[in-house]
């Protein structure tokens, strides 16, 4: 095999050319260039061969970062039809790509850690922080006004440090693009928190506090898939550590926990979730814009269910998209599960690698890039209130302990042992069961993630133009297995 990789210089980080020799000169003509955009918008360029598998690129990036907790991450790409995909590690890269080289891909968080406290290394937390910052900017992490202000202040503290009146003029927040739409009222609240509540926090502590707040939000970890429901209304489907979620307007209208999800399948452009709601079995059906979008949605669901639901990867089986096993698509998640990743993290014993953080100038430039990507898209609804809008402001930062800097990198081990004989299920209280069965308001305004091409694209045109017919909600029959 022949492959060569080099990193496009950016800031203080450089990387030497890597060559793997081949005995055949003919292989030189089969080289294909891959460019992988990282979470800080720097790039790594790689030359691969036709038979190079996806795992090579994943390993290369993780080696570049010196990243050990790598199972949370993946590589995403968009095909010529603007359909997004996750690069499969066990398949040839060239066979997965539908376009001609050179290829452009993105390194992103694929599985969001359920408990940031159990992330062992500062480097992993920083990369997750960068992903959350992108999710906030693109409107994927939607929350209340008070939570948004706290998250924004954590970002400012992490990247600017303590408030200094000599360095930070009156409107300094307005130059720092954090949200797709940020009102003056929101900026004033961010300034207030930055001045009075976060002073003294170092970048690692501020980033960690952002993760602690973000992981409690309903839209944390949601990679939104636009669909139509039974009435033809636009909905966004997602998969989180808790289970399968559906957002409509400013509410989470469905949460089916992973132990209650019996089967995921798709036929053409219709995606089905068969599970238990309110102690009754039902089948939820949603209509996607294309068969390719539906298959991608199904694969994402299968992978997330496997990652979060099972106690051991050996429990995972190949699943079929159809009731008839040999007729539909078949797929098997081949990585570690969340429990195994946490256990592996607790065993890491090494000197933590140095973390190279982007400064504010680099952050501004990356946000400018994001802004250019969405300039020709449909207008976005404001994700945060304008100054004229009134809302009830809640106390900020409640329940978010401020960790000591020395404790952030301490080993954290799960308190509950892994049960090998059955699937892992998180205990649920009566209050949690009640919440999951009722629509839950997540924000003052509607959930409407942006249509950016990178890192998480949705369709360019109005969603209504993409769908030919509505989906339906059907009662699940006992004979369906």
The DSSP result for 115-169, as a single string, is -GGG---HHHHHHHHHHHHHHHHTT-S---HHHHHHHHHHHHHHHH-S--TTTS-
pLDDT digits (tens, 9 = 90+) for 139-198: 999 999 999 999 999 999 999 999 999 999 988 999 888 998 889 999 999 999 999 999
Tell me the pLDDT band of 328, cut-offs 50, 70 and 90: low
| Lowest-confidence region among 223-237, 282-296, 461-475 | 461-475
pLDDT of residue 252: 93
pLDDT of residue 322: 64
DSSP 360-401: HHHHHHHHHHHHHHTTTSPPPPPSS--TT---PPPPSSTT--
Cβ atoms of 174 and 187 within 8 Å: the answer is yes
Q: Which of 26, 13, 23, 102 is nearest to 65 (CA)?
A: 13
Question: Which pTM does this prediction carry?
Answer: 0.75
pLDDT of residue 437: 55
Helix, strand, coil percentages (3-state) for the chain, rounded to 5, are 30, 20, 50
The pLDDT of residue 434 is above 60? no
The pLDDT of residue 422 is above 70? no
With the CA atoms of 441, 198, 153 and 435 taken in that order, what torsion angle do they form, in degrees rounded to the nearest 10? -10
Choose between 207 and 332: higher pLDDT: 207
Tell me the pLDDT band of 449, cut-offs 50, 70 and 90: confident
Choose between 401 and 343: higher pLDDT: 343
Please provide residue 62's backbone torsions phi and psi, each rounded to the nearest 5 degrees: -65, -35
Distance CA 322, CA 302 (A): 13
Beta-bridge partner residues of 47: 4, 33
Distances (CA, A) of 111 to 70, 153, 208, 404, 406: 10, 25, 18, 27, 26
pLDDT of residue 311: 92
Residue 465: count of CB within 10 angstroms of its CB = 9
pLDDT of residue 445: 64
- Stated as kind and residue range, the H or E segment containing 35 is strand 32-37
Cβ atoms of 122 and 409 within 8 Å: the answer is yes
Distances (CA, A) of 213 to 47, 328, 336: 40, 41, 26
Token readout for 55 is 């795992």
Token readout for 359 is 């400064």
Distance CA 143, CA 362 (A): 26
pLDDT of residue 438: 67
Q: What is the mean pLDDT of the chain?
A: 76
For residues 370-395, give the mean pLDDT: 30
Q: How much of the chain, in percent, has pLDDT values that exceed 70?
A: 69
pLDDT of residue 327: 57
The pLDDT of residue 297 is above 80? yes
Domains in the chain, start-ordered, CATH in brackets? 3-109 (3.10.20.90), 116-140+144-216+353-396 (1.20.80.10), 225-340+415-475 (2.30.29.30)
Q: Which of 256, 264, 257, 306 is nearest to 285 (CA)?
A: 264
- Stated as kind and residue range, the H or E segment containing 4 is strand 3-7
For residues 26-44, give the mean pLDDT: 84
pLDDT digits (tens, 9 = 90+) for 67-115: 999 999 999 999 988 899 999 999 999 999 888 889 999 999 999 999 9
pLDDT of residue 188: 95
Q: How much of the chain, in percent, has pLDDT values that exceed 90?
A: 55
Q: Which of 108, 111, 81 is nearest to 97 (CA)?
A: 81
For residues 408-426, give the mean pLDDT: 34
Tell me the pLDDT band of 469, cut-offs 50, 70 and 90: very low
| Lowest-confidence region among 41-55, 285-299, 347-361, 393-407 | 393-407
């Amino acid at each position: 095999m022949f492959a060569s990789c080099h990193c496009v210089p950016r800031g203080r980080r450089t990387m030497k050319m890597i060559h793997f020799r081949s005995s055949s000169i003919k292989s030189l003509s089969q080289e294909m260039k891959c460019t992988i955009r990282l979470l800080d918008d720097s790039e790594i360029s790689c030359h691969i061969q036709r038979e190079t598998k996806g795992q090579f690129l994943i390993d290369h990036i993780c080696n570049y970062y010196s990243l050990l907790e790598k199972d949370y991450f993946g590589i995403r790409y968009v095909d010529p039809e603007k359909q997004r995909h996750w690069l499969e590690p066990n398949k040839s890269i060239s066979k997965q790509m539908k376009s001609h080289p050179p290829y452009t891909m993105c390194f992103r968080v694929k599985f969001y850690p359920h408990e940031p406290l159990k992330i062992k290394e500062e480097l992993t937390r920083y990369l997750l922080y960068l992903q959350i910052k992108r999710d906030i900017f693109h409107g994927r992490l939607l929350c209340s006004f008070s939570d948004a202000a706290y998250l924004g202040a954590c970002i400012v503290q992490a990247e600017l440090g303590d408030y200094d009146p000599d360095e930070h003029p009156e409107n300094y927040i307005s130059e720092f693009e954090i949200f797709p739409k940020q009102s003056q009222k929101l900026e004033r609240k961010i300034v207030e928190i930055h001045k009075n509540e976060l002073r003294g926090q170092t970048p690692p502590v501020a980033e960690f506090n952002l993760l602690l707040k973000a992981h409690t939000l309903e839209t944390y970890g949601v990679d939104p898939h636009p669909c139509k429901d039974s009435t033809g209304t636009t909905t966004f489907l997602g998969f989180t550590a808790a289970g399968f979620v559906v957002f409509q307007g400013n509410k989470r209208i469905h949460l089916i926990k992973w132990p209650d999800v019996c089967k995921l399948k798709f036929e053409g452009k219709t995606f089905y979730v068969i599970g238990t709601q309110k102690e009754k079995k039902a089948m939820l059906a949603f209509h996607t814009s294309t068969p390719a979008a539906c298959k991608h949605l199904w694969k994402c669901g299968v992978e997330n269910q496997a990652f979060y639901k099972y106690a051991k990867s050996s429990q995972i089986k190949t699943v079929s998209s159809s009731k008839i096993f040999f007729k539909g698509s078949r797929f098997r998640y081949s990585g570690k599960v969340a429990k195994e990743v946490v256990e592996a993290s607790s065993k890491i014993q090494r000197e933590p690698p140095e973390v190279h953080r982007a400064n504010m100038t680099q952050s501004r430039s990356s946000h400018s890039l994001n802004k250019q990507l969405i300039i020709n898209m449909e207008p976005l609804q404001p994700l945060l209130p304008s100054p004229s809008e009134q809302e009830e402001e809640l106390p900020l930062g409640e329940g978010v302990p401020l960790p000591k800097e020395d404790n952030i990198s301490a080993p954290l081990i799960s308190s509950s042992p892994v049960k090998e004989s059955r699937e892992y299920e998180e205990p649920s209280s009566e209050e949690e069961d009640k919440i999951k069965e009722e629509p839950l308001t997540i924000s003052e305004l509607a959930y409407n993630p942006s249509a950016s091409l990178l890192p998480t694209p949705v369709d360019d045109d109005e969603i209504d133009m993409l769908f030919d017919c509505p989906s339906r909600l059907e009662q699940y029959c006992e004979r369906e297995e």
